[in-house]
A and B are shown apart, each in its own frame.
Chain A
Amino acid sequence: MTVNNRYRKSLLLACLLFVTSIAFSQDIAFKNANFKEDKQGLKLAKESMAIADEMREQGIEKILLMQDANIVFSQAIFHYNKAQAFNPNNAELNYKIGSSLLFTNQKENANSYLVKAKELSTNLPAEFLFYYAMALQLNGDYTRAVEQFEQFKDTAKNKVYALYEVFTKKYIKECQGANEVLAAEHRIWVDNLPINTKFDEWSPCLSADGELLIFTSNQPNENQPNEFGVYDQDIYYSNLNARKFSNVLPVSELNTKNDDVSGGLSYDGQRLLTFKQEDGNADVFESKLNGLKWGVPLRKMGEKLRGGNTDGNETFASFDPPDVKVYYITDGGYSGNKNIYFSGVMNRERNLWGKGQSAGHEVNTKFQEGSVYIHPDGKTMYFSSQGHNTLGGYDIFVSYVDDLGHWGEPINLGYPINTPYDDLFYSATASGRYAYIASNRAGGKGGLDIYKVTYWGADKPMSTDVQDQLIASIAKPVSDNTIAKPIVVEEKSLTVFKGKVIDAITKKPIDAAIEIVLNETGKIFTSFHSNSATGKFLLSLPAGANYGISVAADGYLFHSENFDLPKGDGFNSVNKDIELKNIKVGSNIALRNVFFNTGKWEVKDDSYAELERLVSLLSDVPTLRIEISGHTDNIGAESFNELLSQRRADAVVTYLLGKGVDKKRLSAKGYGQSKPVDSNETAEGRAANRRTEFEIIEN
């Protein structure tokens, strides 16, 4: 044998050994023999594994009982990771981590551990095939997933298979149906929001106009994390700015040291449903926005253990447009699984609600239902479920109610809203164009993330241009002016009416009572208050009715609007500020937009807009009598200030007389510096004191 041949053979052998060593890495057991140098480390690793194993067993029990086990598996992984850091090359450990991850929000990481387990050893428990198949399903490898599920079915002992049978059959069906669900074309974009972090962001709740987003997150907050380094869930909000949610703030008044979770937001953004644990079970609570602050949450749907509240857990909830029912998720129903129920109000003042009713067998399954949302149109329910024809995990479905109030067969919203991962929650704008969901799909920022769903809507047709030389003697061609008509598809027939209730003169927001009446029947459709701090209101009105809207506030002239919304009117958005006229005797209103030059009493031109509003008020309420008063700061002689303020008040009266107001309704008084409203020590205070006011002295 020549030297070269010998060399080549040695090289070949070395390569073979190298490849073999990679292909069959050693499965390193947690034994003294393997860790002679670090027996203490081994001991701690084994202790961690024991703790983790117990938690994992608990988790598996919960899963087999159709319960969520995210927390307990996450805690198991926390302990497993300690052992993994000590010895990453143990097949069983990798298998346990991988299989645990499948039931957390980090399930996209499961596959790598399971694959490693497989590489390290061929002697894994029969259940490995089941979990490996789940990982394949998550990766969209449905064919291989089915193969692995079938192999599990064929090779596992009967006792073992029996525990997993329901799930195995379900997941095989999901895999077999996946291609059909994926094949359906959906004109949708799904975008990860900039507000997401490596922590969980979930349970998005959107106001009907799409401008306020409230959600839940376990990102670091003011409290201490638990022993696993996990912070408690808190509620956050963000306002839409330049078509994006970017700025996030905590809803401090609702957040506690415990988990605080957003459930559902009223369409006008003024009431928030949350849930919290009390005495061993969770109930739905409602908080109302008072001005800019959320009020203390009060139990919804009746007292504890009454009405819709059971000894089970009532959690994620949704208002319905007439505000008569609340839909919610509960495991306190007959099945013991998490299902969708609803409860109807019987007496709002006394907080009496009816017993919870199942939303029906079409929507509820023997698997878990995770969330529910009723669209402002009142006819559409979006919910998440592990049952029905999901692609895997939770998927989001839509169901429509018939005239008898029965919810119809759910339709999977399909990809890209749904994936083999968990896709939950759904909160949409009234137009239906945008919605927000939560998902732990691969490629997110970590854990659960909130995604924005944009529906392309009906195809927007393109308009071609055809030209003809219609007249022989005119060379210039004539274009066809036809614009391609948009394709008409069934769309939400809703009008969103929103705006602010403000004082007609001062433009300040007013807390007004708003009542919507169906004019045909005279019945009240809904009633609520505008926000006291901002005056804002928002309501969604389904098409097919004529509505009367009345706005009333103490001391103000009553105001009404009419909306006629014929059926098939499509989606409309009306933005209108409602100005109420102050008519309360004794009301003192500062005319902050009436200007004079220093030391002078001629009314400046830029005062006219404000004065016209005053003229309008006096015209609308002919019984009003007012006193115009002039006020100054304390700079200069008191006698001069008195004279100046009187002259200024007179000037305003002269203007009003010039506009036809009867002089018997007007009086003018100069108070000089005798009635300050602020300190004269500061420039700002002095500016506030220099003012013209009117007081309603008779009505």
Chain B
Amino acid sequence: MYKLSFLICFAFLFTKSAKSQTTDTINLNASEQQFSDSIAQVNEQNEDLKASRDAYNEGLLLLGTENYIEAITHFTNAITIDSIFSEAYLSRAKCYEGQNDELAIVDYLKAFELDSSKVFPLYSVAALQFKTDKELAKQTYSLIIALNESEFKAISQLGIIAFLAKEYNTAEQYFTQSLAINTNAYTLNDRGSCYRKLDKLDLAVIDYLAAIALNSDLAFVYSNLASVYANQGDPEKALNYYDLAISIDVNYALAYNNKASILLENKEFDKANSAINKALVVNPDYAPAYNNKGVINHQLKKYEEAIDDFDKAISLDDNYAKAYLNRGVSKQMTRDEDGACSDWYKAKELGIMMVKKYLANDCE
């Protein structure tokens, strides 16, 4: 509509200009005067429009250089001039994201209000709501779907929300619904994880393999599949897929750590150590790797070193219940019974109830 108006204005301006060259001195009658006034009004409006667009364009430049605060100023100017400039709301919202999510949400919603044919602002709103209020995010995704039931991404997101709420059956249904519209590796991965949580490991394997078939570059899918094989009691396959995950992403600390866990169970302590060390090279602050390293050292009867490893894990996460549990066991082997009991009390406080037995038998 604005484009049309602009063309009309341009046409008028051109005509006026053309005419003015030949009729500079023509006196206008009433209707002509009225027409001339409306042209002047349009010209004025066009100037505003231009100013608004100029401000918007400057804002875009600043947004591009991540100069958010100044960009916001320009977008605000654009909006002040033209309060129905939806693109300006969108861009300003992007600037607000991370600084003030509430304002970002307001702008996205405004943008959607101005042009409800585009639902992507609602996706942005939902993504922001997801961080703090999953219920609200759920409502927004549901709205997107109500507007268009083919919005498979929104359906997937509802699945993720259900997954995080541990409603795995519901999550599985959403993922299936989404996949029926659009089959993609990410949603297949997510549904595979649902099946894993539901202990339907065979179905999990099928989905992970299907995800890989669609996109063979997702290291985490290989790793997830490996973990399922590990749970199924097939350490060889598990190790194979962890290696594949690592071959795709040589900095995938999770895969190194998980691989070490399998090797440890197989009592291949040297290889386990090697894998753990690689995890720690990639991520020197990876607490689970320190925990597992401590377990390896404990199995090798290197109790002091094991305690050092658990110390490190706890220093990275002072609520690391498993590390307290394990450290207590190692401390007991160094005859530090007081230290062992103290660690087990802490593990119990953090929710590991099985230490009650250790406390009853060994500490009380």
Which B residues between 182 and 233 are near A, CB-CB below 8 angstroms? Answer: 185-187, 189-190, 193, 196-197, 218, 220-221, 223-224, 227, 230
- Report which residue of B258, B261, B322 has the largest number of chain A beta carbons within 10 angstroms of its beta carbon: B322
Asked whether, in the complex, the Cβ of B261 is within 8 Å of the Cβ of A470, the reply is no
Check if B318 is an interface residue, CB within 8 A of chain A. no
Which of B264, B361, B364 contacts A464 (CB under 8 A)? B264
Alpha-carbon distance A463/B295, docked complex (angstroms): 8
B254 in contact (CB, < 8 A): yes
Quick one: CB contact mask for B117-148 with A, threshold 8 Å, 1 for yes? 00000000000000000000000000000000
Task: Write out the residue numbers on chain B whose beta carbons fall within 8 Å of the beta carbon of A463.
Answer: 295, 322, 325-326
Q: Which residues of A from 123 to 155 have beta carbons under 8 Å from B? A: none
B364-A573 in contact (CB<8A): yes
Binds A, one of B50-58, B66-74, B80-88, B351-359: B351-359
The answer to whether B189 touches A464 (Cβ under 8 A) is no
Which B-chain residue is minimally distant from A433 (CB atoms)? B361
Provided the pairs A463-B322, A465-B257, A479-B288 are in contact, do residues A470 and B360 lie with their beta carbons within 8 angstroms? no
Instruction: Looking at the assembled complex, report how far the CB atom of B300 sits from the nearest CB atom of chain A, in whole angstroms.
Output: 12
Further 11 A-B residue pairs, CB within 8 A, beyond A462-B326, A474-B160: A433-B361, A457-B362, A463-B325, A464-B261, A464-B295, A466-B258, A467-B254, A468-B193, A468-B223, A472-B190, A483-B322
B102 at the interface (CB under 8 A from A): no
A460 with B186: in contact, given A465-B292, A469-B223, A470-B224 (CB under 8 Å)? no
What are 10 residue pairs bridging A and B, where the CB atoms are less than 8 Å apart in the complex?
Answer: A462-B295, A463-B295, A464-B261, A465-B257, A465-B288, A467-B257, A468-B223, A468-B258, A470-B196, A470-B197
Q: Report the 4 A-B pairs with minimum CB-CB distance, sorted nearest first.
A: A465-B288, A470-B193, A472-B186, A469-B220
A167 within 8 A of B: no
Inter-subunit contact B193/A471 (CB<8 Å): yes
Return the chain B residue nearest A478 by Cβ.
B193
B257 pairs with A466, CB closer than 8 A: yes
Interface bits B267-301 vs A (CB < 8 Å: 1, else 0): 00000000000000000000010011011001100
Task: Tell me which residues from 562 to 599 in chain A have a Cβ below 8 Å from any Cβ of chain B.
Answer: 570-573
Compute how far the CA of A556 lies from the CA of B239 in the bound complex, rounded to whole angstroms.
71
Q: In the assembled complex, which residues on chain B have CB atoms less than 8 Å from the CB atom of A460?
A: 329, 332, 358
User: In the complex, what's the smallest C-beta–C-beta distance from B307 to chain A, in angstroms?
Assistant: 12
Question: Residue A431 at the B interface, CB < 8 A?
Answer: yes
Give a binary string over B238-278; 1 marks a CB under 8 Å from any A CB, 0 the rest: 00000000000000001001100100110000000000000
In contact, A486 and B354 (Cβ under 8 angstroms): yes
**B3 at interface, CB cutoff 8 A:** no
Q: A467-B288, A470-B224, A471-B163 are in contact. Are A457 and B361 (CB under 8 A)?
A: yes
A477 touches B (CB below 8 Å): yes
Q: Which residues of A contact B (CB under 8 A)?
A: 189, 243, 431, 433, 457, 460, 462-474, 477, 479-480, 483, 485-486, 570-573
Shortest CB-to-CB span from B186 to chain A, Å, is 4
Residues of A within 8 A of B190 (CB): 470-472
- B361 partner residues in chain A, CB cutoff 8 A: 431, 433, 457, 571
Enumerate chain A residues within 8 angstroms of B337, measured Cβ to Cβ: 243
Nearest-CB distance from A191 to chain B (Å)?
9
Considering the complex, give the chain A residue whose CB is closest to the CB of B228.
Answer: A468
CB distance from A672 to the nearest CB of B (A): 50
List of B residues within 8 angstroms of A477 by Cβ: 254
| Cβ of A484 to closest chain B Cβ, rounded Å | 9
Q: Of all chain A residues, which has the CB nearest B258? A: A466
Q: Which of B137-181 touch A at CB < 8 Å?
A: 160, 163-164
Residue of A nearest to B221 (CB): A472
What is the distance, in angstroms, from B5's C-beta to the closest C-beta of chain A? 42
> Which residue of the partner chain, among B220, B230, B326, B357, contacts A472 with CB atoms under 8 Å?
B220
Contact B357 A468 (CB under 8 A): no
The answer on a CB contact under 8 Å between A469 and B224 is yes
- Are the CB atoms of A573 and B360 closer together than 8 Å? yes
Query: In the bound complex, what is the Cα–Cα distance between A474 and B338 (angstroms)?
Result: 41
CB-defined contacts of B362 to chain A, threshold 8 Å: 433, 457
Bound CA span A483–B357, Å: 14
CB nearest neighbor in A for B224: A468
* Nearest opposing residue in chain B for A575, CB measure: B364
B360: chain A residues at CB < 8 Å are 571-573
- Rounded to whole angstroms, the CA-CA distance of A471 and B190 in the bound complex is 5
Known contacts A457-B361, A467-B254, A573-B360, A462 near B329 by CB under 8 Å: yes
Chain B's interface size range is: 35 or more
Q: Which residues of A contact B357 (CB under 8 A)?
A: 486, 570
Let me know if A483 and B193 touch, CB within 8 A: no
Q: Which residues on A sit within 8 Å (CB–CB) of B218?
A: 472
CB distance from B282 to the nearest CB of A (A): 13
With A and B bound together, what is the CA distance between A467 and B220 in angstroms? 11
Q: Which A-chain residue is minimally distant from B354 (CB atoms)?
A: A483
| Residues in chain B near residue A468, CB distance under 8 A | 193, 220, 223-224, 227, 254, 258
Residue of A nearest to B313 (CB): A465
Please give the distance in Å from B295's CB to the nearest CB on chain A.
4
CB distance from A227 to the nearest CB of B (A): 44
Kindly state the separation between the CA atoms of A560 and B161 in the bound complex, as whole angstroms. Answer: 54
Question: B164 — which chain A residues lie within 8 A by C-beta?
Answer: 471
Chain B residues within an 8 Å CB radius of A466: 227, 230, 257-258, 261, 288
Q: Which residues of A contact B257 (CB under 8 A)?
A: 465-467
* Residue with the greatest number of chain B CB neighbours at <10 A, chosen from A473, A480, A573: A473
Q: Chain A residues with Cβ under 8 A from B254's Cβ?
A: 467-469, 477
The reply to whether A472 and B261 contact each other, CB–CB distance below 8 Å, is: no
Residue in A243, A433, A471, A485 whose CB lies within 8 Å of B160: A471
Q: Which chain A residues border B187 with CB–CB below 8 Å?
A: 472
A462 touches B354 (CB 8 A): no
Docked CA distance A670–B19 (Å): 123
Contact among B288, B291, B352 with A483 in the assembled complex (CB-CB below 8 Å): B352
- In the complex, chain A residues whose CB is within 8 Å of the CB of B299: 462
* Chain B minimum-CB-distance residue to A469: B220
Q: Do A467 and B258 have beta carbons less than 8 Å apart?
A: yes
- A residues near B189, Cβ cutoff 8 Å: 471-472
B298 to chain A: which residues have CB within 8 Å?
462
Contacts of A431 in B (CB 8 A): 361
CA–CA, A463 and B296, complex, Å: 11
B262 to chain A, nearest CB (A): 9
Give Cα A189–Cα B352 distance, bound, in whole angstroms.
Answer: 27
Query: In whole angstroms, how far apart are the Cα atoms of A431 and B224 in the complex?
Result: 44
Contact assessment for A464 and B193 in the assembled complex, using a CB-CB cutoff below 8 Å: no
CB distance from A382 to the nearest CB of B (A): 19
List, in ascending order, chain A residues with CB within 8 A of B196's CB: 470
Bound complex: CA A486 to CA B335 (Å): 20
- Given A457-B361, A470-B196, verify A465-B220 contact (CB < 8 Å): no
- Residues on A with C-beta less than 8 A from B291 are 464-465
CB distance from A663 to the nearest CB of B (A): 47
Q: B21: shortest Cβ distance to chain A, in Å?
A: 62
Given the complex of chains A and B, what is the CA–CA distance between A486 and B325 in angstroms?
A: 12
Cα(A469)–Cα(B294), bound, Å? 23
Whole-angstrom distance from the CB of B333 to the nearest CB of chain A? 8
Whether the pair B186, A473 counts as a contact (CB closer than 8 A) is yes
Q: Does B325 contact A483, Cβ atoms closer than 8 Å?
A: yes
In the bound complex, CA of A514 to CA of B230 (Å): 56
Cα A611 to Cα B185 with chains together (Å): 72
Residue of A nearest to B337 (CB): A243
Which residues of A have CB within 8 Å of B261? 464-466
- In the complex, chain B residues whose CB is within 8 Å of the CB of A570: 357
Q: In the complex, are the beta carbons of A189 and B335 less than 8 A apart?
A: yes
Q: Contact mask B15-47 → A, CB, 8 Å, 1/0?
A: 000000000000000000000000000000000
Nearest CB of chain A from residue B229's CB, rounded to whole Å: 12
Nearest chain B CB to A453's CB is how many angstroms away?
A: 14
Contact assessment for B186 and A464 in the assembled complex, using a CB-CB cutoff below 8 Å: no
In the bound assembly, the distance between CA atoms of A471 and B224 in angstroms comes to 10
The residue on A at minimum CB distance from B323 is: A465
From residue A350, how far is it (CB to closest CB) to chain B in Å? 42
* A472 vs B352: C-alpha distance when bound (angstroms): 29
**For the complex, what is the distance from the CA of A304 to the CA of B185, rounded to whole Å?**
91
In whole angstroms, how far apart are the Cα atoms of A277 and B326 in the complex? 54
